[in-house]
Amino acid sequence: MKYFLILLLVGSLKADLAICEEPISFTFLKSQVVNKGKVSLSDLVKSMRLVPDNSKEAQVLTAVSEIELARLEENESIKIEGSEVAKLIRKVKVLDEVVFHIPSYIEIHRYEFSKYLAWTLKETIKKKANVDQVDIAELHISKLKTTEHVFVTVDRVLRSDTFQYNLFQKRNANDAMKKVGFVRGKYILKKRVPIVGRSIQIGQAIGEVDFHYEMRDVTKVRDSFPSKEEILSSEMKRARYFGQIIRSGDIQPQKLIRRGDLVHVTVHGGNLDWKIEFNGVAKTNGILGETIQLINPSTKKTMSGVVVSHGKVEMTR
């Protein structure tokens, strides 16, 4: 009987563990820009518009949106300690399995609508386009009945100097988004990119002294940009000249062996219990990890091996 009770308890514990879910988590922004006077706690939660209307997250956001955090005049800013935000959160009644991540302080800025919209566009486009700086010009906003709770959605960033995005309105977490207008203008995308410090021809390897980084206009550059590590392990696929940007399409993996090179070949036994070394002649080019064809000058036989470093090939028998 004792063992039967123990089994029942263990079975119950396993069932409880199985239905245990991860707690709902909300992260607050450290800095936020708004275009309305009354600011609630929900205005500071990341990605609130991505929350489904019928979810537990939406219920929490609805409760949080009812708690007023501050009132701001146009172009006014306020800094609020995280401890004050925590005190307000305790008023939320829907707190079951909810975790709030609050920074040490939160800065809130209220801008006039056009300035708010420009700031939002800059921040969103910067993330979407993976650039370091966005400059907005010639901003035109369609006529709106009200600017309260109006926001812009940036679905994609075209490699053009002009843009047009839709404006939507959503008064609270339970409302559906409603299209109310559009915004258009011009932008310049800027990014710290690798720049050639000397003319480098096709097939040449690239050293650290051959390039540096500068902030450049990349608005109409359709290619991506390689990392420092990628550049240093590559050679030029296209010739680039002093002052030009190095794009991903301009480089290719460095050939560690070229056709006709004399290479050092190491042949290992299947259990690595023996090895034979000799010099062979490469029949093809090879990059790191690539299998190439080579000739053993002694036997005149064609063999294949894997490139392991400059001028070195390994084979396994």
Tokens 């000799």 sit on residue: 278
Write down the CATH number for the domain with range 21-110: 2.60.480
* CA atoms of 194 and 1, how far apart (whole Å): 75
> Which residues have C-beta within 8 Å of that of residue 194, sequence separation ≥ 6?
211, 212, 213, 225, 226, 228, 231, 245, 246
Strands 133-141 and 178-196: antiparallel
d(CA 191, CA 245): 11
Listed by start position, the domains of the chain span 21-110, 113-190, 193-206+219-254, 256-316
Quick one: 3 exposed, middle or buried, by C-beta within 10 A (0-12, 13-18, 19+)? exposed
Each residue's pLDDT, cut to its tens digit, for the chain (317 residues) gives: 444 333 333 343 333 333 445 677 888 889 998 888 888 888 888 765 556 666 777 777 778 888 888 899 888 999 999 999 888 888 776 666 788 888 999 999 998 999 999 999 999 999 999 999 999 999 999 999 888 888 898 988 887 889 999 999 887 666 788 999 999 999 999 999 999 999 999 999 899 999 999 999 999 998 999 999 999 989 999 999 999 999 999 999 888 888 999 999 998 877 767 888 899 999 998 888 899 999 988 888 999 999 998 899 998 87
Q: Locate all alpha helices (DSSP H) within 24-112, ordered by sequence.
A: 56-65, 82-89
Distance CA 313, CA 303 (A): 11
Over residues 166-210, the pLDDT tens digits come to: 999 887 666 788 999 999 999 999 999 999 999 999 999 899 999
Cβ neighbors of 79 (< 8 A, separation 6 or more) are 105, 106, 107, 108
Tokens standing for 206? 């690239």
What is the CA angle 203-204-209, rounded to 5?
A: 155
DSSP-based three-state secondary structure for 57? helix
**Quick one: fold of 256-316?**
SH3 type barrels. (2.30.30)
Q: Which amino acid is at 50?
A: L
Q: Sign of the CA dihedral 144, 146, 152, 153?
A: negative
Pairwise CA distance, residues 188 & 192, whole Å: 14
